[in-house]
A = this chain, B = another copy of it.
Amino acid sequence: MKEIAQGESVLIRDVTLDGRQTNIRIEGKTIVSIGPEPGGETDVVIDGKGGIALPGLYNTHTHSAMSLLRGYADDMPLQQWLGEKIWPLEAHLTAADVYQGTRLACLEMIRTGTVGFNDMYFFMEETARAADEMGMKAQVAYGFIDLFDEEKRENEIRATEKLVRHIRGMNNDRIRAAVGPHAIYTVSPEGLRWCAEFSRQNDIGIHIHLAETEQEVKDCIEQNGMRPAALLDDCGCITPRTVAAHCCWLDADDCTLLGDRGAFASHNPSSNMKLGVHRAMPCEWLRNAGAGICLGTDGCASNNNLDMFEEMKFAALLQKFYWNSQTLLPAAETLSMATAGGAAAMGFDGGRIEVGAPADIVLLDRAAVCNTPLHNPVSNAVYSCNGGAVTTVLCNGRVLMQDRFIPGEEEILREAADAAASLVGRATEQS
């Protein structure tokens, strides 16, 4: 099988960075020099002449194995979609499916310039294995759902502890564990408190859905006399290690709370639009309150892809449309959300091309139509290009894609397609 040449030292020659042609030199996992002189010999030389360098992107909210469900069901009322289509299929998911689905997702993310992702789902050991093999960075959380039942809670606690032990045992600086309390309507306050305490003791992230729908907010106020963010905070779940996904229905006080706690809000515009949530995350309020803002695609059942370039455009456009201003979330800020903002949210060093930073680098095709003309590379990256303009991807100094070639792609596609067909077959057989 064809492979990509790897080495301890890599030179990206004559690449365009911040509008100037330069050379980026990498030793091990780290960028060691950037400048007009390429310097001495390296193990690997990448011709960057046709490329524009950007930091690798971070997808801060996804369920990557749901790539197997891409296009399986759409355009249905939410409860019917979940109850008749998504949950019955998920009930048949195996560990092997999650491995195949995550490999497919990693393939798609690498192809579209993403180097790291934040995942909450089941069989997360398999997600970690796939991410590791594909060379990506990942923060993985077991989706903790106790449905307010004590016995279930004990199971979820054991599953979470087991995953965190497993990830620690991998001893891999690209793969981190997090706790994944699903949401306030699926996890009891006791479960949330356990997650918060476990996260604190182990210094690991918290990945949760927050204020996705208006119904969630209404129900929470009715049942608890407070809004979802306040309830989560009451349980200790709003921390600097927290990534709260969606956040569509946060009010100004909620934003202040997230800002005060130094938490991160992951904007998922495509998913929010497809599922008709009718309100866009208040990015401006959150930023002004001091909260971190980042970007995510959500899973493939509700997007239906993992292209963070497309997601940047959805984010920048949805903010302007919903919040009624042509100047909200400009291109540079959107790119920053998708890179530095995402890395910070997941606790990874990354999201910048600088000496001393991890070599997480994406090259965009300068000769692509979407980059012609090239008045403004950042505008083109956000508004004009999609992930198809990505030619080359490095993560921690390792070349994951070169000139659009990813080793093993055909096998990954074939095995994922087979797994998806078999999954639907098993689910249909039983119904």
Contact = CB atoms under 8 A, between A and B. Distances in A.
Interface in A367-381: 367, 369-370, 372-377, 379-380
A421 interface: yes
Interface in A309-328: 310, 313-314, 316-318, 320-328
Given A273-B320, A275-B320, A310-B386, A370 B305 contact: yes
A3 interface: no
A71 B370 CA distance: 10
Contacts of A276: 320-321, 323-326, 328
A380 B111 CA distance: 17
A417 interface: yes
A374 B321 CA distance: 32
- The binding surface of chain A is classed by DSSP as helix
Interface stretch (A33-41, A56-64, A75-83, A216-224): A75-83
A134 B150 CA distance: 67
Chain copies in the assembled complex:
2
Most chain B C-beta atoms within 10 Å of own C-beta, residue among A76, A81, A277, A384 = A384
Contact of A317 (B69, B72, B270, B370): B270
Nearest to A368: B413
A307 B111 CA distance: 19
Contacts of A420: 372-373, 375
A300 interface: yes
Contacts of A300: 384
Given A305-B370, A326-B275, A424-B375, A331 B74 contact: yes
A356 to B, nearest CB: 31
B416 A326 contact: no
Contacts of A377: 71
9 contacts: A68-B373, A75-B331, A76-B326, A270-B313, A273-B320, A274-B316, A274-B326, A276-B324, A369-B413
Given A68-B373, A72-B373, A276-B323, 18 more contacts: A71-B375, A71-B376, A71-B384, A72-B376, A74-B331, A75-B326, A75-B327, A76-B327, A77-B327, A111-B369, A272-B321, A273-B320, A276-B321, A276-B325, A276-B326, A305-B383, A310-B310, A367-B413
